[in-house]
Amino acid sequence: MKHSTLAILLSFLISVTLAASGCTGVQPSDTMTPSETTVPETPTVKPTVTPSHSVDEMVAFVRDAVAFANEQGKEAALEVFSDPNGSFTRGDLYIYAYDFNGTTLAHPFNPEKIGVNRLNETDVSGNLYIKDLRDVAENGSGFVYFYYIDPAQNMTVQPKLGYVERVDETWWLGSGIYGVEAPATV
């Protein structure tokens, strides 16, 4: 009972935080109108996990990774980001890296995807999630809802809220938290 009450409270707090901060899909840039905001279709996968990290933790994690990349250089950073036991992998919270063409530069749980262009890859709801993430990163930073395999949950597909941030004009980083279902409408 105690765990279910905590899970409900946590879900409520995340929902209120996201709604209050306007994080209800792709974070629009100053130049986007509401009609240009991408919102995933109704999810086909319901969350079966409770987020193990907060939105603030995820954003700070990505910002730390961007700072690390700027300090250490691209090649050294990509090696660390691709290490499943590295300092930028914390259970189901991990850093992934892409160039602006949609090619995977680093991924700790899908090393076979490194060097693969995934721009036209869809999630289980048919969303072009890499393209959506890339489009947000082109504007600097922001959020996207999508569905992805959760390595901490036996590789099951879970709803995920991703946060991305541009490192420079050639590449961007992202991370995400599982179990955060996209709202039905914005």
Interval 27-46: pLDDT, tens: 333 333 223 334 344 333 44
Residues with pLDDT less than 70, the chain: 1-51, 183-186
Q: Which two tokens stand for residue 117?
A: 């262009």
Kindly write down the DSSP assignment for every residue of 7-75, as one continuous string: HHHHHHHHHHHHHHHT-SSS---TT--GGG---PPSPSS---S--SS-HHHHHHHHHHHHHHHHHH-HH
Contact in structure between 133 and 125 (CB atoms under 8 Å): no
Which pLDDT belongs to residue 184? 61
| pLDDT score recorded for residue 154 | 84
- Helices 55-72, 74-81: axis angle to 10 degrees equals 140
Closest listed residue to residue 106, CA positions, set 174, 60, 176: 174
Look-up of token digits 């892409």:
98
What pLDDT is attached to residue 179? Answer: 83
Instruction: Name residues whose C-beta falls within 8 Å of residue 46's C-beta, 6 or more positions apart in sequence.
Output: 159, 181
- Going along the chain from its start, the domains and CATH numbers come out as 2-178 (3.30.450.20)
